[in-house]
Amino acid sequence: MKSKELKGGREAARKELIKSEVMTFRIPSDELEKLYSLAEKLNVRVTVMVRDWVVERLTAELGEKNQAIALPNWEIQDIRNRLAVVEEKLIYKDKKINSRVREKSTEYKANSTQKARKKPTK
40 within 8 A of 33, measured Cβ to Cβ:
no
3 state SS of 63: coil
Average pLDDT, the chain: 82
39 within 8 A of 49, measured Cβ to Cβ:
yes
The model's pLDDT over 2-30, given as tens digits with 9 standing for 90+, comes to: 666 666 788 888 888 888 888 888 999 99
Which range, 7-21, 64-78, 85-99, is most confident?
Answer: 85-99
pTM across the whole model? 0.48
Q: What per-residue string of b and e applies to 45-74 under the rule 16 or more CB within 10 Å gives b?
A: ebeebeebeeebeebeeeeeeeeeeeebeb
3 state SS of 10: helix
